[in-house]
């Protein structure tokens, strides 16, 4: 079940990355599959080829895992390669109508090669992974059986942190972005509709006056790190090495963040996001995440919900850090537009998805507790 959920999610990410920004559609009088007969591209780089191959290798591997046990061995590899060919072909064909994308037979070929390599690597290990292997036993020893979707969402958090944000881990600011797209008259109408007691326009200045900028970054970083770590601990069984798994999540997040910064930063810096406030937030967030492991699962879910909710309010209400423009200017916006779009989308949505999941789990726990209490009182 987990492998099929991961396969569906990765396929959706490929679609998003291939068709971003989903705007400016137009026809140049070309057929959607004319690119297949084009001559070999004159301008290409080894980096582009390697990226295309690596991008489809997980697709091939996950496809082999998803069709197990009905299809195995060479048949599974053939189906995964065929699926990669069809998916990449459709992605390239539709790019014919996107002004920011170029349909390329080289991209199609390298994507198919990536799907084939991923499937060929995964096929011999499929049985060990899904049926009788050490990893399968470890997965059910450490994690709840029905927690596949939650585990996938938790595993996405390191990648959601890639895109630069005003304060480290301060994600989920799509309400602010939506608000800034409103014209003045629409903003005025919304403010007039909101209760006057909220004093929405006075919130940013009032908050800024209470703490220095570095302290706000510390708080937001700590809240998000704690919320993500507590969220990731929810599917873990008591016998699991939860502290080590949380350390692995944090280390993976920092490595992914540094790698994405190095890849996209014009200055080539890895740690330009590691400000004093961010480092302090990393320390406090890690410490509180370890302490939360001693709490019951429901209490951890409640703590994660509160941390994520408070952080989302602060991220969307506080003024943008004055250093953010410098950080964003150093980010290569034009390089790998689909990569930037995917990273931005993950940063916008991950905290809200996690918050919805924890709120739902709390509601389910509350309903179960109320049902038990009614059963006891009815005896």
**Over the stretch 208-241, which tens digit does the pLDDT of each residue have?**
656 788 888 999 999 999 999 999 999 898 888 9
> Are the CB atoms for 91 and 56 separated by under 8 Å?
no
Q: In Å, how far from its chain's centre is CA 349?
A: 8
Is 104 a domain residue? yes
- Residue 287, both tokens: 């410490």
Q: Could you tell me if 162 and 127 lie in one domain?
A: no
Domain boundary residue among 74, 105, 132? 132
Tell whether omega for the bond before 69 is within 30 degrees of 0, i.e. cis. yes
Is 231 a domain residue? yes
Is 139 a domain residue? no
Is 170 a domain residue? yes
**pTM for the predicted model, two decimal places:** 0.72
Q: How far apart are CA 33 and CA 364, in angstroms?
A: 49
For residue 166, list its beta bridge partners. none
**Contacts of 33 by beta carbon, 8 Å cutoff, 6+ apart:** 89, 93
Q: What is the 3-state secondary structure (H, E, C) of 178-189?
A: HHHHCCHHHHHH
Q: How far apart are CA 301 and CA 164, in angstroms?
A: 27
**Residue written as token pair 């009905």:** 70
CA pseudo-torsion sign 101, 106, 111, 114: negative
Is 145 a domain residue? no
Q: How far apart are CA 127 and CA 357, in angstroms?
A: 31
Q: Could you tell me if 127 and 155 lie in one domain?
A: no
Q: How far apart are CA 272 and CA 258, in angstroms?
A: 9
User: What total of structural domains would you count in the chain?
Assistant: 2
CA nearest to 90, candidates 141, 18, 23? 18
Q: Which domain holds residue 167?
A: 151-378
Q: Could you tell me if 108 and 216 lie in one domain?
A: no
User: Which pLDDT score, from 0 to 100, does residue 190 have?
Assistant: 63
Q: How far apart are CA 201 and CA 190, in angstroms?
A: 11
User: Which pLDDT score, from 0 to 100, does residue 230 have?
Assistant: 93
Dihedrals φ, ψ of 236, to 5°? -80, 140
Residue 268, sorted as left (phi over 0), alpha (psi -120 to 50) or beta, turns out to be left
Is 143 a domain residue? no
Q: Could you tell me if 250 and 349 lie in one domain?
A: yes
Q: Could you tell me if 71 and 156 lie in one domain?
A: no
From residue 206, give the alpha-carbon distance in Å to each of 172, 209, 309, 330, 370: 22, 5, 19, 31, 40
Domain boundary residue among 132, 161, 182? 132
User: Which pLDDT score, from 0 to 100, does residue 78 have?
Assistant: 93
Q: Could you tell me if 335 and 202 lie in one domain?
A: yes
Q: Could you tell me if 206 and 338 lie in one domain?
A: yes
Q: Could you tell me if 164 and 299 lie in one domain?
A: yes
Q: Could you tell me if 19 and 91 lie in one domain?
A: yes
Domain boundary residue among 132, 163, 178? 132
Q: Would you call 265 helix, strand, or coil by DSSP?
A: strand
> Are the CB atoms for 187 and 179 separated by under 8 Å?
yes
> Are the CB atoms for 44 and 106 separated by under 8 Å?
yes
Q: How far apart are CA 352 and CA 175, in angstroms?
A: 11
Q: Could you tell me if 184 and 101 lie in one domain?
A: no
Is 270 a domain residue? yes
Q: How far apart are CA 225 and CA 200, in angstroms?
A: 27
Per-residue pLDDT of the chain (379 residues), as tens digits, is 667 777 888 888 888 777 776 777 777 777 777 777 777 666 666 767 777 888 888 899 899 888 887 888 889 899 999 999 999 989 888 888 877 777 778 888 889 999 999 999 888 877 666 666 666 677 778 888 777 778 888 888 998 898 888 888 989 988 887 777 776 676 666 666 666 545 555 566 566 656 788 888 999 999 999 999 999 999 898 888 999 999 999 999 999 888 877 776 666 666 777 888 899 999 999 999 999 999 998 899 999 999 999 999 888 888 777 667 666 666 665 445 456 667 788 888 899 999 988 888 888 778 777 777 777 776 5
Query: Max alpha carbon distance in the chain (Å)?
Result: 80
Is 142 a domain residue? no
N-term to C-term CA, the chain: 39
CA nearest to 280, candidates 208, 210, 324, 214? 214
**Contacts of 115 by beta carbon, 8 Å cutoff, 6+ apart:** 56, 57, 59, 60, 63, 80, 81, 83, 84, 85, 88
Q: Could you tell me if 127 and 193 lie in one domain?
A: no
User: Which pLDDT score, from 0 to 100, does residue 334 have?
Assistant: 46
CA nearest to 18, candidates 103, 110, 116? 103
Q: Could you tell me if 127 and 164 lie in one domain?
A: no
């Amino acid at each position: 079940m987990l492998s099929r959920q991961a396969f569906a999610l990765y396929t959706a990410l490929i679609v998003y990355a291939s068709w971003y920004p989903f705007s400016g559609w137009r026809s140049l009088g070309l057929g959607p599959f004319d690119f297949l007969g084009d001559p070999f591209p004159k301008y290409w780089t080894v980096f582009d080829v390697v990226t295309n191959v690596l991008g489809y290798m997980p697709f091939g591997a996950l496809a082999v895992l998803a069709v197990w046990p009905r299809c195995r061995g060479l048949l599974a590899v053939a189906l995964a390669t065929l699926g990669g060919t069809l998916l990449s072909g459709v992605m390239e064909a539709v790019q014919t109508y996107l002004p920011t994308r170029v349909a390329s037979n080289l991209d199609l070929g390298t994507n198919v090669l990536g799907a084939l390599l991923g499937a060929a690597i995964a096929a011999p290990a499929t049985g060990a992974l899904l049926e009788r292997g050490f990893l399968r036993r470890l997965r059910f020893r450490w994690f709840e059986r029905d927690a596949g979707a939650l585990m996938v969402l938790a595993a996405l958090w390191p990648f959601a942190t890639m895109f630069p944000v005003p304060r480290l881990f301060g994600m989920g600011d799509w309400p602010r972005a939506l608000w800034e797209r409103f014209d003045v008259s629409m903003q005025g109408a919304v403010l007039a509709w909101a209760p006057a007691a909220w004093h929405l326009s006075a919130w940013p200045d009032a908050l800024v006056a209470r703490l220095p900028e570095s302290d706000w970054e510390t708080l937001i970083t700590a809240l998000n790190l704690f919320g993500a770590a507590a969220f990731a601990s929810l599917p873990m069984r008591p016998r699991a090495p939860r502290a080590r798994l949380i350390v692995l999540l944090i280390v993976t997040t920092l490595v992914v963040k540094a790698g994405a910064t190095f890849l996209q930063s014009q200055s080539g810096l890895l740690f330009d996001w590691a400000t004093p406030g961010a480092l302090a937030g990393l320390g406090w967030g890690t410490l509180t995440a370890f302490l939360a492991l001693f709490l019951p699962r429901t209490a951890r879910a409640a703590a994660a919900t509160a941390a994520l909710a408070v952080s989302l309010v602060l991220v969307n209400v506080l003024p943008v850090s004055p250093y953010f423009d410098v950080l964003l200017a150093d980010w290569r916006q034009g390089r790998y537009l689909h990569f930037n779009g995917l990273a931005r989308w993950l940063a916008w949505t991950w905290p809200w998805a996690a918050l919805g999941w924890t709120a739902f789990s709390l509601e389910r726990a509350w309903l179960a507790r109320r049902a038990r209490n009614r059963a006891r009182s009815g005896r």
